[in-house]
Amino acid sequence: MDKASPLKQLVNFTSYTIGLEKTLRLIQALAQVAGELGTDEVLSAKCLIARDQLALGRRYFRLLDFYGCFERVQELLTTNPVQSSILNLMETAEFTFLGLYLLLENLTILHDMNVMLVSWYRPLLVEANKLWFYAIILSILRSLCRIFIPVSPQPSKTGNNEKSKTTEVALPSKTPFVKQIIVDACDLTLPGSFIGWLPVSDLLVGMAMVISTILSAEEHWVKAQQAVH
């Protein structure tokens, strides 16, 4: 079968919710970079308006994502709760923080839509972004643990007797964890700059957002192409 054209691949990708959301996120990031780099004040202002509108539109995609986070927390707590490892505890905390962030963010959507303006908009978003910041930090720490803490793989033995048996150790690839750290480090600039914990410019945030979006979308891009065949 002939390989689909780039346009057809993009259509396949955006046919899925997560693919469309990633595409809008990339356009939002590029609009922010263009708005910060632009020399024409009018054009830069329009780019930043487009960024804000895209950011609002993307929020509809994650309106109920907090449910999946809390569902994951319940799963972690009910699966061997007594023998939970430190990684499981970290993941439980991570998804708890992430779920709370998404839930609190939802409370401000009517304000962003200019439907119901509230005085507590900024303070609530600050606290919500703190939770998002904590969740990303925990994700980075979990990935670092996966890289540096040795795993004890089950040896696979072959042969008909004990003397001829050989042990083959298949260690998991560390590449996905390195990639996840890069994505998380880039995403950390968003809540970090919003709450003032990371002294980064809007231009740097936009560039980091471009990198994290492309890296995190790669896997979904491949799956979208495979799904249509």
- Ordered DSSP codes for 15-76: TSHHHHHHHHHHHHHHHHHHHHH-S-HHHHHHHHHHHHHHHHHHHHHTTTHHHHHHHHHHHH
- Which pLDDT score, from 0 to 100, does residue 54 have? 97
For the chain, how many structural domains are there in total? Answer: 1
In a domain, 113, yes or no: no
CA atoms of 58 and 116, how far apart (whole Å) = 19
Q: What is the pLDDT of residue 23?
A: 97
Interval 125-148: pLDDT, tens: 999 999 999 999 999 999 999 999
Summarize the confidence of residues 26-54 as an average pLDDT: 96
Question: Is 172 a member of any domain?
Answer: no
Polymer length of the chain: 229
Instruction: Give the C-alpha separation, 195 to 187, whole Å.
Output: 14
- Whether 62 shows a pLDDT value over 90: the answer reads yes
Residue range 154-176: mean pLDDT, rounded: 59
47 or 168, higher pLDDT: 47
Q: Which residues, in sequence order, are bridge partners of residue 157?
A: 167
Angstrom CA distances, 93 to 70, 71, 128, 137, 223, stand at 10, 13, 15, 11, 29
Q: Rounded mean pLDDT of the chain?
A: 90
Judged against a pLDDT cut of 50, whether residue 68 lies above it is answered with: yes
Q: C-alpha distances in angstroms, 6 versus 1, 3, 28, 31?
A: 15, 9, 21, 22
The two three-digit tokens of residue 58, written as one number = 């993307």
Residue 161 in this model has a pLDDT that exceeds 80: no
Residue 93 lies in a domain: no
Predicted pLDDT of residue 138: 98
pTM of the model: 0.89
Please check whether residue 170 lies inside any domain of the structure.
no
Inside any domain, residue 126: no
**38, part of any domain:** yes
43 within a domain of the structure (yes/no): yes
Q: Is residue 104 part of a domain?
A: no
pLDDT of residue 227: 84
The HSE-up count of residue 95 (CA atoms within 13 Å, CB side) is 18
> What pLDDT does 84 receive?
60
CB atoms within 10 A of CB 27: 15
| Structural domain range at position 16 | 1-61+203-229
Strand partners, 158: 166
What percent of the chain shows pLDDT beyond 90?
79
